[in-house]
Amino acid sequence: MQAYRFALDLTPAQERSVFAHAGAARKAHNWALARVKAVMDQRAAERSYGLPDDLLTPSLGWSLPALRKAWNAAKPQVAPWWPEVSKEAFNTGLDALARGLKNWADSRTGQRSGRRAGFPRFKTKHRTMPSVRFTTGAIRIEPDRMHVVLPRLGRLKLHESARKLTRRCEAGTARIMSATLRREGRRWFVSFTVEVQRAALHHARPESVVGVDVGIKHLAALSTGELIANPKHLDAAQARLRALGRALSRKQGPDRPSGRKPSKRWQHASARLGRAHARVANLRRDGLHKLTTRLAREHTTIVVEDLNVTGILRNRRLARRIADAGLGEIRRQLAYKTQWNGGRLLVADRWYPSSKTCSSCGAVKTKLPLRERIYTCTDCGLTLDRDLNAACNLAALAAGTTTAGSGPVRGRGAIHKTRPGGQEAAKRPPGSTARAVRQTGTVMPKGRTAA
């Protein structure tokens, strides 16, 4: 499954129609959520009265078919205008609620890993990103490759040519499964979810191995010796964002307690601030895609770390710059791009001391403060950039492995405490440099927590 995303050029009438579909999705979501909460509260109250389970109010199913059945029965009274929009608009809101309820239930019972999911909340017009998804009906790209056709919305003009997707569809190697309209930064985008047939690829450089150490000072340090600078798009835009934020604060905004609506000037200032944030996000996305695409095409085996990005973001002094760098996004993109290009992604163990280990002799330091940006080995005298040293160690982990495919591979166990240098050094080939180990083969373990 692959997504193709294109910007749209909508007329005012088309934009109003798309907004109507997004509002219909929000309406169905909020109605179903209110119904679910009412049934849950009623059953809880009846249990407090001592009623047996067989006498309680019948429960409402949380699956998409159950929610859709309840909505179809109530929509003539709840939304008498329902024939004016596509049925897919209501299905979009109900599907989002069904997935949210399932995530909440699985999180409570321990069937869902990660951060605990909260109970779904009501969506508002001002805080929710307008979105609608089409899975059935007429979904196609016009022969001129500059227009798309969607149910009830008709023919919509694209801002750019869809020739890449059209060629695949014409060749029979791609099939459009769904189309999602979404508004970001005052612009509408359409994303096609496509089922693509890919031939088995063989990388042009089967022996190429690279270790990638991501960070803040350098966005990525490669074991080849290349240091990729961090563009810091958010820092560069801070002056403009502050000015726009101050201008917005001087306008008359909405006030919920008094029911005051925002002024036109406030709405225009809010739109300018949103466009500035969208530009930062687009610059970041473009840079990360170019970096990960180049790495996946030039190297067969890529070794990265299993960073605990959520934990690192708790550092209030570094959170903004870590979020701006997009460290987690780099690994996510490398995961699927290595498969597309016939390579593999190896993830080092989270507790592997890549920064503390000497890439020349294998000695491990007990402590290495974050302020020390140059690694100096007390055993062999190696002096090297801290991030570059870590990248060399990651590449060395790939040497000597026979694991095929991609995915996490553990080296040593998850030992939280760094071992003495002698014990760790015994695991490395004596006298071998990271460069020599890198040229011998391909493998690895699984990531770390701090830089």
**Tell me: the pLDDT tens digits for 268-278?**
999 999 999 99
Could you give the CA distance from residue 356 to residue 363 in angstroms, rounded to a whole number? 8
% of the chain exceeding 90 in pLDDT? 58
Could you give the CA distance from residue 388 to residue 390 in angstroms, rounded to a whole number? 5
Specify if 443 maps to a domain.
Answer: no
Query: Residue range 261-282: average pLDDT?
Result: 93
Among 373, 418, 424, 369, residue whose Cα is nearest residue 396: 424
Residue 236 has pLDDT above 90, yes or no: yes
- Give me the chain's average pLDDT, please: 85
pLDDT of the residue at 122: 95
Do 401 and 319 fall within a single domain? yes
Between the CA of residue 343 and those of 307, 337, 376, what are the distances in Å?
A: 21, 8, 33
Do 359 and 277 fall within a single domain? yes
Amino acid in the structure at residue 248: L
| Number of compact structural domains in the chain | 3
Residue 416 has pLDDT above 80, yes or no: no
Specify if 203 maps to a domain.
Answer: no
Do 32 and 76 fall within a single domain? yes
Question: Tokens 């330091």 correspond to what residue?
Answer: 365
Cα angle: 389, vertex 392, 394; to 5 degrees:
110
pLDDT of the residue at 38: 94
Cα angle: 69, vertex 137, 67; to 5 degrees:
15
pLDDT of the residue at 377: 87
Specify if 69 maps to a domain.
Answer: yes
Do 417 and 300 fall within a single domain? yes
pLDDT of the residue at 360: 86
Does residue 9 have an active-site annotation? Answer: no
pLDDT of the residue at 436: 31
Last residue of a domain, one of 139, 174, 196: 196
**Domain of residue 26, residue span:** 19-109
Specify if 253 maps to a domain.
Answer: no
Active site residue: 88, 95, 349, 387, which one?
387
With cut-offs at 50, 70 and 90, classify the pLDDT of residue 368: confident
Do 278 and 424 fall within a single domain? yes
> Residue 238, Cα to own-chain centre: how many angstroms?
23
Do 282 and 180 fall within a single domain? no
Q: How many Cα neighbours within 13 Å face the side chain of 37?
A: 11
Residue 421 has pLDDT above 80, yes or no: no
pLDDT of the residue at 337: 92
pLDDT tens track for 86-107:
999 999 999 999 999 999 999 9
pLDDT of the residue at 419: 46
Query: Residue range 42-46: average pLDDT?
Result: 90
Residue 402 has pLDDT above 50, yes or no: no
With cut-offs at 50, 70 and 90, classify the pLDDT of residue 446: very low
- β-sheet with 407-408: strand ranges across: 227-229, 218-222, 209-214, 301-305, 344-348, 407-408
Residue 215 has pLDDT above 80, yes or no: yes
pLDDT of the residue at 74: 94
Residue 432 has pLDDT above 60, yes or no: no
Per the DSSP assignment, residues forming a β-bridge with 220 are 214, 228
Residue 259 has pLDDT above 80, yes or no: yes
Query: Residue range 201-229: average pLDDT?
Result: 87
Cα angle: 446, vertex 450, 451; to 5 degrees:
100
Active site residue: 305, 306, 349, 424, which one?
305
Do 191 and 213 fall within a single domain? no
Indicate the range of 237-241, 268-272, 308-312, 333-337 predicted with least confidence. Answer: 308-312
Active site residue: 213, 306, 324, 349, which one?
213
pLDDT of the residue at 182: 95
With cut-offs at 50, 70 and 90, classify the pLDDT of residue 443: very low
With cut-offs at 50, 70 and 90, classify the pLDDT of residue 422: very low
Token pair, residue 4, equals: 């193709």
Indicate the range of 130-144, 198-212, 416-430 predicted with least confidence. Answer: 416-430
Does residue 213 have an active-site annotation? Answer: yes
Specify if 450 maps to a domain.
Answer: no
Specify if 135 maps to a domain.
Answer: yes
Do 277 and 417 fall within a single domain? yes
Could you give the CA distance from residue 391 to residue 211 in angstroms, rounded to a whole number? 5
Separate counts of helices (H) and strands (E) for the chain = 13, 15
With cut-offs at 50, 70 and 90, classify the pLDDT of residue 382: confident
Last residue of a domain, one of 109, 144, 170: 109
Do 159 and 75 fall within a single domain? no
Query: Residue range 305-313: average pLDDT?
Result: 87
Among 227, 211, 228, 220, residue whose Cα is nearest residue 439: 211
Does residue 170 have an active-site annotation? Answer: no
Between 29 and 126, whose confidence is greater?
29
Query: Residue range 331-341: average pLDDT?
Result: 91
Specify if 246 maps to a domain.
Answer: no
Query: Residue range 112-125: average pLDDT?
Result: 90
Q: What is the pTM of this model?
A: 0.80
Token pair, residue 17, equals: 């129609």
Pairing of strands 187-196, 218-222: unpaired
Do 74 and 45 fall within a single domain? yes
Do 57 and 174 fall within a single domain? no
Specify if 123 maps to a domain.
Answer: no
pLDDT of the residue at 193: 95
Q: Exposed e or buried b for every residue in 406-432, given b needs 16+ CB within 10 A?
A: beebebeeeeeebeebeebbeebeeee
The count of other CB atoms within 10 Å of the CB of residue 392 is 27
Could you give the CA distance from residue 197 to residue 208 in angstroms, rounded to a whole number? 26
pLDDT of the residue at 318: 87
Could you give the CA distance from residue 415 to residue 235 in angstroms, rounded to a whole number? 36
Could you give the CA distance from residue 99 to residue 120 in angstroms, rounded to a whole number? 9
Could you give the CA distance from residue 288 to residue 189 in angstroms, rounded to a whole number? 20
Last residue of a domain, one of 75, 109, 143: 109
Do 154 and 51 fall within a single domain? no
Residue 68 has pLDDT above 60, yes or no: yes
Backbone dihedral angles phi then psi of residue 11, each to the nearest 5 degrees: -80, 160
Between 26 and 445, whose confidence is greater?
26
